DNA sequence: GATGAATGAGTATTCATTCAT
DNA sequence: AATGAATGAATACTCATTCAT
């Protein structure tokens, strides 16, 4: 298959970058590990920069799709927020190496790639923003909420997962998602919406958890 | 004073690292900007690695002291947590460049330095852990809380501030700290402790906000 | 026709080499521009070296034929020299790209090709040498002439044309040829042969000027 | 001396470039031959491009100075032209390697350097142009002369010297200069100025022939 | 004949570090 | 203490050439 070598290079680079950082890994190291040659690498990527971009793009594109789907699948902001968090946390199980590289090395993205990625990142943030805003306007979420800052708090706590999540750790990603959901809902919901029956009812396993079976 | 040049180098490096990343800045650039020479640099630092370590250490040492002081200054976990968050968030105002380097470049710390820093990082986490644990045990915090994960959520949301905080932004660091405190306390406190009178009373400006008068 | 692609490659390479130099053009660029593939290239040429050689050879072979023909067409050295200069200058109109590559890149010819080309270059020089020598011996040219050096002077002034000739320039190639002829004849002829009637009579347009009609 | 290594590098590169061409010589080869290191090279030159420029500049600057001095030293265009040719030809004795590189590799000069060099080249041509023009206007040179083209003829025949001149050859540079002068003067002077007594009188050895004693 | 994926030796350049002064 | 010339290992990237299809 035409894509074979390309995929192999991405996978190899991903793991190496995760372990040693983008600057800690040379092209030579990547191609040796991937079982190809420098020429092979440059046949598929125009530069090391581009490889970094591709890694960023794979993940952010996926994350946006998931978040949109989660939002679309429910009607009330409460449920939407739940679904988005569950989905978002779940992405870390599948794409932890991508995310690690994404957050650790974003600074070194070439400007031309950075712009593309920045737009997608903004798009992702906007999805969460809209849901929190709607929840506040509908009267389900507390009226004191500063939406901008709350969105950054949510993004921060979830994003940080890449620093500590371990597939073989004590808690599964699903449990972590539930704990985070519980934490966030307590932080944003009005007291009257806080009885378990309301919000725990939709804790179905979302699609992408089962997607990774490979 | 002997320390003068050393400080100048650290400050210069800090700002350059924040802007372009550790790998995007050469020793030459640092010494030129700092108005010294390569010899001057190596007189004060044994390597670029060491400089990176020093920057990490300055901040983490400071952050631990602050957190300990905050915890020591109050008796109830509720108040301690409030004070720690307020203190921790405030650190980003003063040490944003350090924090950016700390989170962005930790991966490139030489192992021998990494071990030292890792220990201090664990120490810092432990302080928060102890407070949340105590709050739960005392019955002020919700019993369902998974302390480990909640601590990581809190750390994540606060740490993430380095990615978006802007001294000239819409919200002051003090306002951000209040919003975060409100968010976290809603997330962890039992409903009965959630009346404003309880927890808003201690929103004193902590020491370090005034420390930076420079 | 088998030769089609080969010619296409030569023409394309010629123009690219003229513009950017042999080292400034990659095989990839040539084949892309020529609308073929690397395989297509190597089917027709054993190496980039060979392509360079072929370009050299096309021109030098042509130039020798022309010079011989010019010499054969007249009997007196005076007329022969005139005809050769006219012919030689004219070559620059048709083969400027070849000549540019010839003079600019000869140094990079592979030794095995270089030897062949060098021989032809010597052959060409010999033709002019013989004519000047004959002119001197016949008593038409000045007796003080150092034939060796004069030949190099003539070759130099004509060869240099590749550096400045422009098809769309102020002077046509035919005018340039006349000016050069006038210049050289004044330099070599004895005073008594210098009346216009003698040497301007043969300024027929030589064959190759009309050859390029395309 | 501060300039020692720099000069050594230039000299070494010059000879290597002359022999194998700019593209045929790697930085590695230069520094090995010059007895230094890559770092040493890049301490003195910002790039291989810059080295090429420096080589160009050394020669063209020198040639312009010489031509100006030659022109300034005489009053009549006839004598000026003689002096300039003598001086110009002499430059090839001293700077043959520079000139070889200059004419062979000019195409690869980085645009920013090319502009500087091109200006100096134009300045040089202008000096010769002015003298031929003046000679024509004063009535010493033939009125039929097309000054533009004649200047290119003169430049061409002299420049071409770099292709064949050999310090150990049959003719000394001074002899060559005389032969060229004789050739050119016959080509441009009116018949009445062509008696030897007029123009051979100033064939003093010009300054720069003795300058190179080092 | 033609393709283009793959090769790998070779290139210019960078940069942390050393050390004579 | 401080300088900055010199080092050389390491790096990203190029490109003529090969070869299975």
Site from C105, C147, C156, C174 to mutate, D interface, most D CB atoms within 10 angstroms:
C156
CB proximity under 8 Å: A 173-192 to B: 176, 179-180, 182-184, 186-188, 191
Nearest CB partner across the interface for C155, out of D150, D160, D180: D160
> Are D37 and D121 within one domain?
no
Nearest nucleotide from residue D40 CA, by C1' atom: F6
Q: Which residues pair with C84 in a beta bridge?
A: none
Per-residue model confidence (pLDDT) at position C58:
92
The tens digit of pLDDT for each residue in A16-52 reads 999 999 999 999 999 999 999 999 999 999 999 999 9
> Are B14 and B96 within one domain?
no
B203 pLDDT band, cuts 50/70/90, is very low
The tens digit of pLDDT for each residue in B116-151 reads 999 999 999 999 999 999 999 999 999 999 999 999
The reply to whether the CB atom of residue B43 sits less than 7 A from any atom in nucleic acid chain E is no
Q: How far is the CA of A25 from the C1' of F18 (A)?
A: 29
In order of C76, C93, C118, C212, the CA distances from C89 in angstroms are 20, 8, 20, 14
Answer whether residue B189 is part of any domain.
Answer: yes
For nucleotide F15, the protein residue with its alpha carbon nearest to C1' is: C26
Count of CB atoms situated within 10 Å of the CB of A35: 11
Per-residue model confidence (pLDDT) at position B143:
94
Count of CB atoms situated within 10 Å of the CB of C30: 24
C-alpha angle A95/A99/A102, rounded to 5°?
140
> Are A78 and A104 within one domain?
yes
CA D155 – CA D88 distance, rounded (Å): 9
> Are B77 and B96 within one domain?
yes
D58 closest CA partner among D110, D21, D113: D113
The tens digit of pLDDT for each residue in B153-192 reads 999 999 999 999 999 999 999 999 999 999 999 999 998 8
Per-residue model confidence (pLDDT) at position B206:
44
Nearest CB partner across the interface for A157, out of B20, B156, B194: B156
Q: How many domains does chain B have?
A: 2
> Are C76 and C8 within one domain?
no
Mean pLDDT of chain C: 88
Answer whether residue B209 is part of any domain.
Answer: no
> Are C67 and C6 within one domain?
no
Q: How far is the CA of D150 from the C1' of E11 (A)?
A: 43
Chains A vs B: touching, with 3+ CB pairs under 8 Å?
A: yes
Answer whether residue D211 is part of any domain.
Answer: no
Per-residue pLDDT of chain C (214 residues; tens, 9 = 90+): 456 889 999 999 999 999 999 999 999 999 999 999 999 999 999 999 999 999 999 999 999 999 999 999 999 999 999 999 999 999 999 999 999 999 999 989 999 999 999 999 999 999 999 999 999 999 999 999 999 999 999 999 999 999 999 999 999 999 999 999 999 999 999 988 876 555 554 444 444 443 333 3
Q: Is D49 exposed, middle or buried (0-12, 13-18, 19+ CB in 10 A)?
A: middle
The tens digit of pLDDT for each residue in B40-76 reads 999 999 999 999 999 999 989 999 999 999 999 999 9
For nucleotide F7, the protein residue with its alpha carbon nearest to C1' is: D39
- pTM score: 0.84
> For C195-204, which contacts have Cβ atoms below 8 Å and span 24 or more sequence positions?
C198/C78, C199/C78, C199/C79, C199/C82, C202/C74, C202/C79, C202/C82, C202/C83, C203/C82, C203/C86, C203/C178
Nearest nucleotide from residue A38 CA, by C1' atom: E8
Answer whether residue B151 is part of any domain.
Answer: yes
Site from C108, C146, C158 to mutate, D interface, most D CB atoms within 10 angstroms:
C146
The tens digit of pLDDT for each residue in C26-60 reads 999 999 999 999 999 999 999 999 999 999 999 99
Answer whether residue D212 is part of any domain.
Answer: no
The domain in which residue C12 lies consists of 1-45
Per-residue model confidence (pLDDT) at position C3:
66
Q: How far is the CA of A34 from the C1' of F20 (A)?
A: 21
Q: How far is the CA of C32 from the C1' of F15 (A)?
A: 14
Cβ–Cβ below 8 Å for A104 and B107:
yes
Q: How far is the CA of D23 from the C1' of F17 (A)?
A: 19
Given CB atoms, is A149 within the 8 Å cutoff of chain B?
yes
**Residues 6 or more apart in contact with residue C45 via CB below 8 angstroms:** C6, C9, C51, C54
Per-residue model confidence (pLDDT) at position A191:
87
- Percent of chain B exceeding pLDDT 90 equals 83
Nearest CB partner across the interface for B187, out of A160, A176, A186: A186
Q: Are A83 and A203 in contact (CB under 8 A)?
A: no
Between residues B198 and D49, the one the model is more confident about = D49
Give the domain CATH number at D189: 1.10.357.10
Q: Write down which residue in C10, C28, C45 finishes a domain.
A: C45
**Residues 6 or more apart in contact with residue A62 via CB below 8 angstroms:** A91, A94, A95
Cβ–Cβ below 8 Å for B186 and A187:
yes
Per-residue model confidence (pLDDT) at position D3:
65
The reply to whether the CB atom of residue D32 sits less than 7 A from any atom in nucleic acid chain E is no
Q: Which residues pair with A189 in a beta bridge?
A: A141
> Are C66 and C24 within one domain?
no
User: In the complex, which subunits touch B with 3 or more CB pairs below 8 angstroms?
Assistant: A
> Are A52 and A148 within one domain?
yes
Q: Name the 3-class secondary structure at D185.
A: helix
Nearest nucleotide from residue A42 CA, by C1' atom: F13
> Are A171 and A124 within one domain?
yes
Per-residue model confidence (pLDDT) at position A166:
94
CA B192 – CA B138 distance, rounded (Å): 14
In order of A129, C136, D17, D35, D44, the CA distances from D4 in angstroms are 66, 52, 20, 12, 11
Nearest nucleotide from residue D42 CA, by C1' atom: E13
> Are A74 and A41 within one domain?
no
User: In the complex, which subunits touch D with 3 or more CB pairs below 8 angstroms?
Assistant: C
* pLDDT exceeds 70 at position B196: no
Per-residue model confidence (pLDDT) at position D168:
94
Per-residue model confidence (pLDDT) at position A64:
94
Answer whether residue B193 is part of any domain.
Answer: yes
> Are D173 and D71 within one domain?
yes
Answer whether residue B9 is part of any domain.
Answer: yes
First to last CA, chain A: 19
A29 closest CA partner among A14, A44, A43: A14
Give the domain CATH number at C5: 1.10.10.60
**Residues with pLDDT less than 70, chain A:** 1-3, 195-214
Per-residue model confidence (pLDDT) at position D191:
87
> Are B33 and B131 within one domain?
no
Q: Which residues of chain A lie closer than 8 angstroms to B142, CB-CB? A: 186
Answer whether residue B214 is part of any domain.
Answer: no
The tens digit of pLDDT for each residue in D172-206 reads 999 999 999 999 999 999 988 876 555 554 444 44
Cβ–Cβ below 8 Å for D161 and C156:
yes
């Amino acid at each position: 298959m035409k894509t074979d070598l390309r995929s192999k290079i991405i996978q190899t680079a991903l793991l190496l970058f995760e372990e040693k950082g983008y600057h800690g890994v040379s092209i030579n190291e990547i191609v040796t590990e991937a079982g190809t040659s420098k020429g092979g690498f440059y046949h598929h990527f125009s530069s090391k920069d581009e490889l970094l971009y591709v890694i960023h793009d794979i993940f952010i594109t996926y994350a946006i799709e998931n978040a949109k789907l989660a939002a679309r699948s429910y009607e009330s902001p409460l449920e939407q927020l739940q679904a988005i968090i569950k989905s978002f946390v779940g992405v870390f199980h599948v794409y932890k190496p991508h995310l690690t590289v994404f957050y650790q090395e974003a600074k070194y993205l070439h400007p031309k790639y950075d712009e593309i990625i920045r737009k997608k990142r903004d798009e992702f943030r906007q999805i969460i923003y809209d849901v929190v805003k709607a929840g506040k306007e509908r009267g389900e979420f507390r009226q004191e909420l500063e939406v901008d800052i709350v969105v950054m708090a949510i993004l921060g706590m979830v994003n940080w997962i890449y620093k500590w999540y371990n597939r073989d750790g004590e808690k599964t990603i699903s449990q972590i998602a539930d704990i985070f959901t519980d934490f966030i809902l307590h932080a944003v919901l009005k007291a009257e919406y806080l009885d378990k029956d309301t919000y725990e009812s939709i804790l179905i396993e979302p699609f992408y958890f089962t997607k990774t079976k490979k």
